[in-house]
A and B are shown apart, each in its own frame.
Chain A
Amino acid sequence: MFRKSIDEFMYYLPFLREVIRKDFKKKYHKSVLGVAWSMLSPLMLVITVIFSTIFRRSIPYYPSYWLGGNLIFAFVMDGAQSAMNSVINNSSLIRKMKIPNYFFCISSVTQNFITMLLSLIPYFAVSFIIGVQPSPYMLMIFFPIILAYIFTIGLGLFLCAYGTFLRDFNYLFTIARRAWLYITPIFYPIDIIPENYRFMFELNPLYVYITIFRDFAMNNTMPSERLLIVATFYSILTLILGMMTFKEKEDRFFLYI
């Protein structure tokens, strides 16, 4: 059975490529700057300037701190949300062709993933301009990024399994996203939370990925082993949970799309 799933995955791999290509084309259809938009979006100058003045003393290289956190956060949230809607959005295809449903989740997360990879270019450009020193640790950022990718696929599959039945999940998710933004230290420093409550951050997968990313990308340090293990654990657990939920629900999708 496992063998069969892998064969199926390999068989539809060209399809995954085509769908991602198609969605990219459609997203930037008739836009002059095209893919360049995905590089411009992280340069949200207003917020950067305002918060830079507020937090200048407690966080060095504040723009890198904020933009890096936001990069990961936006990727996970956008990716999960688009995965949640992917089955509904592709219902015309799903009703006519036999394609494993989860491919639509993977493709929409991957599309966001590519956008994020492109955003890394302006991110590092800004970092170097404000004086972050280049270091070999920066090459390690792919570790937290890929873990976040796996986490997002898992979360997306989970949300899609329910979001296909109940369209309210979109609104719920928007609210949850806002709350999640505030409990994750993205624009504020971790120090504003008392020391003895700080372990609670580690229950938040996004905090873990963002911290690892920041350590590699701007602090030039190796994150603690504990953090790396926790991050891997979250990714794998979420993926398995998402896959199981999706598998259980997907047989009834065709009644609702």
Chain B
Amino acid sequence: MINISEQAVEIVNPIINESLRTNDFYDDDEDVCVNVQNVSVMFNLSKNREEGIKEYFINMVKGKVGYKEFWALRNVSLKVHRGDALALIGRNGSGKSTLLKTIAGIIKPTRGSVEVNGTIAPLIEMSGGFDRALSARENIFLAGAMHGHTRKYMKKRFDEIIDFAELEKFVDVPIKNYSSGMIARLGFAVATCVNADIIIADEVLSVGDAQFRLKCENRIQQMLKGGTTILYVSHSPAQVKKVCRTAVWLEKGVVVDMGNVNDISDRYMQTIKQEQ
């Protein structure tokens, strides 16, 4: 079974990835803070996930314990330099989030390697791992602790975070009562305040209102100047162009192209229009 999929990767790979095995966009190898090499990620799509011993044995007898494989990423290689803002573009299900999660270390690649120099603040699915039963105050300390910060340190940054998220009135309300915009604001404020070297933003800015979006974009620009690296996913080409310098275009788990953000996102939009 594994043999087949390996072949599949081999077949796909030479066609598309030939010229892109490494990121030609950069000429030097200095200051690389994310180095993704030939990463493939396989998911198990099988409908009967063995959740019980009975099912497990029934499936074993039927010879169905094997998985229906689904390769979310196939031989993806890219390098991100310190202080760069990289956009990931592509349609739903093209592997953007999987790639971000692999870089964040949440998913271990089935094959290939990911090297990261520096700390990462992942903002995936809006909230960076909040507990919905807790208030904003408690969540800030919890999230800070996930980045190795003590309570003492987070107390110093506390006012700054609440101020940025504009949640002064709701500090002690459990966040399950928050609107999605409020949660996104809190998530963004926390992620940008924990002094991470790399920030992963997966469609965070799509929920906030225009005013907050502007504020976030300013904050991102500020952080880029300070040397923070940003990996960014958004479905709005205008926003991507505003924030990022470079872009990677993913399609069905394979890198189609990478390079200057304007070129790539224009070509991506063209392709979509042609398809319709």
Instruction: List residues of A whose CB falls within 8 A of some B CB.
Output: 11-12, 14-15, 17-19, 22, 25-26, 29, 92-99, 165-168, 172, 251, 254-256
Contacts and interface: CB of A to CB of B under 8 A. Distances in A.
B133 interface: yes
B141 A11 contact: no
Interface residues of B, number: 34
Given A18-B142, A166-B52, 9 more contacts: A93-B129, A97-B146, A98-B104, A98-B120, A165-B50, A168-B54, A172-B53, A254-B108, A255-B44
B143 to A, nearest CB: 8
Nearest to A17: B145
- B49, B104, B146 interface centre (most CB from chain A within 10 Å): B146
B127 interface: yes
A97 B52 contact: no
B107 interface: yes
Interface stretch (B27-35, B148-156, B162-170): B148-156
Contact of B53 (A26, A93, A166): A166
Nearest to B134: A22
A166 B65 CA distance: 13
A14 B149 contact: yes
Given A22-B142, A97-B128, A255-B43, A14 B151 contact: yes
13 contacts: A12-B145, A14-B145, A14-B150, A14-B151, A22-B134, A93-B131, A98-B120, A165-B50, A166-B50, A168-B51, A168-B52, A254-B107, A254-B108
Contact of B138 (A22, A92, A168, A256): A22
Contacts of A97: 104, 106, 122, 128-129, 146
A94 B106 contact: yes
Contact of B142 (A11, A19, A98, A168): A19
A11 B194 CA distance: 14
Given A168-B52, A251-B108, A96 B141 contact: no
Contacts of B54: 168
B105 interface: yes
Contacts of B243: none
A18 B141 contact: yes
A11 B138 contact: no
B256 interface: no
B266 to A, nearest CB: 32
Interface in B78-127: 104-108, 120, 122, 124-125, 127
Contacts of A18: 141-142, 145, 151
B158 interface: no
B138 to A, nearest CB: 7
A96 B43 contact: no
B133 A15 contact: no
A168 B106 CA distance: 26
A15 B148 contact: yes
B146 A99 contact: yes
Given A251-B108, A255-B43, A15 B145 contact: yes
Given A18-B141, A95-B106, A167 B52 contact: yes
B56 interface: yes
B166 to A, nearest CB: 23
A162 to B, nearest CB: 10
A96 B142 contact: no
Candidate in A98, A254, A256 with the most chain B CB atoms within 10 angstroms: A98
A18 B44 CA distance: 33
Contacts of A255: 43-44
Nearest to A92: B129
A93 B108 CA distance: 16
Contacts of A99: 146
B44 A96 contact: no
- The 3 nearest A-B residue pairs measured at CB: A98-B105, A18-B145, A15-B145
Given A19-B142, A166-B56, A96 B151 contact: no
A12 B65 CA distance: 36
Contacts of A95: 106, 124
Contacts of B120: 98
Nearest to B133: A26
Contacts of A19: 142, 145
B124 A96 contact: yes
Contacts of B127: 96
Nearest to A93: B129
Contacts of A14: 144-145, 148-151
Contacts of A96: 106, 122, 124-125, 127-129
A127 to B, nearest CB: 37
Contacts of A254: 106-108
Nearest to B138: A22
Contacts of A15: 142, 145-146, 148
Contacts of B128: 96-97
Contacts of A26: 133-134
A168 B107 contact: no
